[in-house]
Amino acid sequence: MKKLFAIIISTMFLSSFAYAGSCPMLLKQVDAKIASSKLAPEALQEVKTLRDNGETAHKTGKHEDSVKMLEEALKKLG
């Protein structure tokens, strides 16, 4: 039972660290696409809001939320 508990806890920590490592990479991708984007100003503002919210989520340790927001921003950028 202790081994099972240890495996579950370690899996949770590892997945959290995996998300934490991908956030900065996704931020760079979003920033690069924003710089060359030809989206309408309203759509671009929505993407920038997603990007900023994703960065804030990353900084507060909510990496899974951050990844979701940043991937949504990338999707909207094409």
Q: What's the pTM?
A: 0.74
Query: Is the distance from CB of 63 to CB of 20 less than 8 angstroms?
Result: yes
**What is the reported pLDDT for 17?**
46
3-state secondary structure of 78: coil
- Write down the pLDDT at residue 7: 60
Task: For the chain of 78 residues, list the mean pLDDT of each consecutive stretch of 10.
Answer: 58 50 90 94 96 95 92 94
pLDDT of amino acid 27: 94
* In contact, 28 and 11? CB cutoff 8 Å: no
Handedness of CA 30, 70, 53, 16 (dihedral sign): negative
Question: What local confidence, expressed as pLDDT, does residue 74 receive?
Answer: 95
